[in-house]
Amino acid sequence: MSKRTGLPEAVGLRKRETHYVASLAPEEPATSHRMIPAGHIHPNPDQPRQRIGSVDALADSIRDHGLIQPILVRRLGNKDFQIIAGERRYRAAMKAGMREIPCIERDTPRNESLELALVENLLRDDLTPFEEAAAYRNMLRDHGHTHESLARRVGKSRTSVTETLALLNIPEELREMCWAAGIRSRRKLLRVAREASPEAMAECVRRIASGVTATPKKRKATRKKRARPFVFRYAPRNAPFRLQMTFRRSAVEEAEVIQALRDLLKQLESRRSGEQESSAAGNTGPTKA
- E strand spans, 61-174: 71-75, 81-85, 100-106
- Is the model's pTM score more than 0.75? no
Q: Is residue 258 part of a domain?
A: no
Tell me, what CATH number does 98's domain have? Answer: 3.90.1530.10
Residue range 105-114: mean pLDDT, rounded? 73
Greater pLDDT, 157 or 8: 157
Distance linking the first and last C-alpha atoms of the chain: 162
Domain count along the chain: 1
Q: Is residue 67 part of a domain?
A: yes
Band the pLDDT of 126: cuts 50, 70, 90: low
Greater pLDDT, 286 or 158: 158
pLDDT at 41: 92
Q: Is residue 281 part of a domain?
A: no
Tell me what the pLDDT averaged over the chain comes to.
Answer: 78
What's the domain range around 58? 9-108
Query: Residue 42: what are its φ and ψ, rounded to 5°?
Result: -125, 140
Q: Residue 101 and residue 117: Cα distance in Å, rounded?
A: 18
Quote the Cα angle for 158-18-65, to 5°. 110
Band the pLDDT of 22: cuts 50, 70, 90: very low
Greater pLDDT, 54 or 175: 175
Q: Residue 148 and residue 155: Cα distance in Å, rounded?
A: 11
Q: Is residue 52 part of a domain?
A: yes
Greater pLDDT, 226 or 210: 210
Q: Residue 120 and residue 112: Cα distance in Å, rounded?
A: 12
Q: Which residues in 124-141 are b (16+ Cβ under 10 Å) and which e?
A: eebbbbbbbbbbbeebbe
Band the pLDDT of 11: cuts 50, 70, 90: very low
Q: Is residue 86 part of a domain?
A: yes
Instruction: Classify residue 240 by burial, with Cβ atoms within 10 Å: 0-12, 13-18, 19+.
Output: exposed
- % residues pLDDT > 90 (the chain): 11
pLDDT at 201: 93
Q: Is residue 225 part of a domain?
A: no
- Computed over its alpha carbons, how large is the radius of gyration of the chain? 43
CA quadruple 46, 47, 51, 52: dihedral sign: negative
Greater pLDDT, 224 or 16: 224
pLDDT at 192: 93
Do strands 100-106 and 31-37 pair parallel, antiparallel, or not at all (unpaired)?
antiparallel
- % residues pLDDT > 70 (the chain): 74
pLDDT at 277: 75
Q: Is residue 160 part of a domain?
A: no
For residue 250, the tally of other CB atoms under 10 A from its CB is: 10
Q: Which residues in 176-210 are b (16+ Cβ under 10 Å) and which e?
A: ebbeeeebeebebbbbbbebeeeeebbebbebbee
Q: Is residue 200 part of a domain?
A: no
Q: Residue 18 and residue 118: Cα distance in Å, rounded?
A: 18
Band the pLDDT of 89: cuts 50, 70, 90: confident
